[in-house]
Structure formats: C-alpha cells, structure tokens
Structure 1
Amino acid sequence: MADWVFTKLYKDVFADLTVDATEAKELHDKFEAANPPPDKLVSLRAMAFRIGSEFLSTDGNKDTDVAVLRAINAVVHALEKTCMLPKPIKDDSAFNDEALEDLYRQILTDGSVDQEESKELLTFFQSTPPPVSKLVSTRANAFRIGSEMLTEDKAHNVGILRAINVIVHTLEITLFKPKVYVCKVEPPPTMNVSKIGVNASIEKAVQHIWDLDVNRLTPGVDYGEFTHFFWYFILL
C-alpha cells in the first residue's frame, strides 16, 4: 500500500482531532491490510508526527494542540499493536516511573533532543526497562508530558513533536520488535519461464517487483528517474 494511502488516512484522522472506536479500528484494519514490511514501520510512525504537526494551531490554541498529540498517540498505538511485539524482558524490577518521567521532562523542556539526552534515554530503557504491562503507558506518558510543554509558539510545539518522536523511536527500537513478516503477495503462475519464455517472464517479474515496491518506496522520494533508466538498460 503506497504512502499516499496513509497520508490520506492520517489527514482524515487528524481532521477532527479525535480518534473514536471506529477510526481506531480503521487504523488497525489499514495497517493489517497493508502488511508493511519491518523497514517501513519507522517511516509510517514518523509520517504520523510530520502530518500531525501540520494540524497544530497557529494561534496558540492549547486545546487543539493537545488534541493533535492525542491523535498522534492513537495512530502510534495502532501501529505498535498491529505490527510490533514486545521484546522479552528478563528483569523489569528496577523500572522507576518517576525517574523516567523526570527524564522525559528534561528532554522535552526545550523541545529538542541532543546526543547526550538520546544516549541517556537509550541507556535507561536498556538498563531499567518497563514491564510489558506498562509499555503503552510509558509511551503515552511521553505525549502527556509533552502536552504540558506546549506554548503559543508553533515552532516550539513542532519541536516538542519531534522530541516525542525521538522518545517513541528509542522506546520502539529498544523494547519492541516487528512481527514476523509474511509477504502476502504471491508471485503469479504466469511468471513461469518454462511456460511463457524468458523475455516475457522477466517483464512480468519486473512488474511483480514493482507491485511489491509500492509497499516500500515512494517514487520521486526514495528513487528517481535515474533508477528507471538504470533498470531499462539492464533489462534490454
């Protein structure tokens, strides 16, 4: 499923800045139907933050901005629930909610995440991971605390979103893993070389790869005209 499908879906979700049960199910169903490969999950999550930032108010309306954060959190929740699984955790006894919240506040205060803060957060999740039962609230707390840091300055609030995205990214790469990926697009029988010949088989194989690629890449963003010409001459 191409990126534009998710762009439209996200914009529809953010249009009224609420995610009801119907929209939550639609998000789940879209992610499940799209069956994004593991290397697509980061960009799908980052896209939610990027598009969500477009809906931040320009007049410092905090209710609107808090609603944007809640909507993004709902999208991220649907993505994690549908496409990821918690990693096994050997010992979660050292986890401290208050210490993590203090770290969140330290990171989010200025709306930016420097290298030292990023490393500190990674170390925290690695050395004192939250129990699986608290993964959802651990992520949601980043949004909650981020909402407390919102101001009337949109540029600052965009920075808050970027910082939350870094927190969520660190949490996901440390404590989650993608579900086992099974490609649901079967190669068509018409690609059989013995039946249709080499030339026709190559042509259909390239088309099949292209069909699979739409689930991964965006023309003009991930590759450009050079790629098309490259493959054209290779396949001559």
Structure 2
Amino acid sequence: MKKLLIASALLAASSIQQAHAWGQTGHRITGAIAEQYLSEEAKAAIAALLPNESLAEASTYADEMRSNPEEFWQKEAGPYHYVTVPKGETYKEHKHAPEQGDAYTALKKFSKIVKDDTAPLSERQRALRFIVHIIGDLHQPLHAGDGTDKGGNDFKLEFFWEKSNLHRVWDSGLLDRRQLSYTEWTEWLSEKITPEQAAKWNTTDPLIYITESATIRDTIYPEGDRLGWDYLYQHLPTAKVRLQEGGVRIAAHLNELFAK
C-alpha cells in the first residue's frame, strides 16, 4: 500500500511538471523570430556555443529534458519554467519562488553562466538553451500564475469538444487550431512586426515580461468551461503578439549578453 501511495504521488508530481509553455511550436516560433534580430556579435557567440543548432531547436531543450533522470532535471529545474504573481500584486511584492529559484532567478543565473569563459562548455550550452526557453515561458500568460491553480492546469474545461485545461489551451490549443508549422507561423508573424514595434518591445527587463503576462492572465479565464471559436477569436491575437514580443526580446537579451 505504501509503495502504491508513493507511486501515485510521483505520478501526480510528474503530471504537474509536464506543463509546458507554448508547447514546442510556440517555443520554436519565438526562437526563430529571435534569430532575425540578433547582432553579428550574438550570432558569432551562439554559433560558437551551439554549432549547427538554431535557436528554434535550442528553445525546446528545457522541456525535452524533463524526463532525464539526472538530479538537476528531477529536483532542481522544474520551477525554472514559471513565476508566481498573486492577483493585485507585483512579482517583487509577493515573491513565491521555491528555494532553488524560479524563471526570474534562473534567467539571471544562466545569463551569468553563459558569459563565464571558465565554465564547462556543456554548462554554458545548457544555460544558453535555458535563456531562450525561459524568456519564451515568461511570455505565456499562465506561466505567471497566481498561485491558486498551477497556472491554469487545475482549471478544467473542454476545448473544441475535447477535455483539456486552460494551461494546455494556451500552451498549444490556440496555435494548433490553425494547423500551421512553426516555420509558417514564424513567416507570418515576422512579416507583421514593424520597426516601431520591434523598437518598442526591445527590452531585457524580465520584470516587464512578468507584469505583462500577469495582467493578461487575469483577462483570459473564461466564464464557462466549454471553449470554441469565440474563445479562439478573442484570444489568439493576444497569443500572436506574445510570441512576437518573446522573439524580439530573446534577441535583445542575447545581444546584450554577447555585446563586446
């Protein structure tokens, strides 16, 4: 009986940890958009650290490694994908980071590692991949959860007649309904970013990303539990902008890190 309870607890923990931001398509979009705004210095530094690996490929690494049995992935890395911001408060006012940190603190940590020429190459590579992933995460509104429902994972609903939850809808449901590849999404979204928007979004302050996501988060909870075309119509435009902003800001962060 004891073994059964332990197994059930591990399964529950695993299911919580498997909540991904944007899903693979969304992360790849932000990585691919970012490549269009990189400085020459950043391009050279990234190529040296990740030869023959695009930012689109690097962007999903942190999710793909979740089942790795190493202690880092099983006991440390889980909280690096989100932050907690209770309603009516800011991240700094009510910080709920676990002992090992969260997306905000991890972004700072990995930014230091990637610039450290004395760090092992494998650690710098992991740090770079995490930076791309975390900035994408922070632009998914439900990765700035309010601390009550695991970032919308506990908000159960039906999305186009299939059982789901609000987090999953924002991870992949909204994008998948369009049945586009990440390269198609990237092309379409990139063409619509004006120079003025790119300049406006060009910030490396993660507190801005967090505040924006928490503000959006409070507007996307539906009144009912059956979502379809109306919800898609209302919120897909917001998801598109967050992907565009995420891509521009990944580049801004890397340009700043690798500036000579």
Range of TM-score over shorter length: 0.3 to 0.5
Give the helix-richer structure, 1 or 2.
1
TM-score, with structure 2 as normaliser: 0.32
Greater RCO, CA 8 A, separation 6+: 2
TM-score, with structure 1 as normaliser: 0.34
Higher-Rg member (1/2): 1
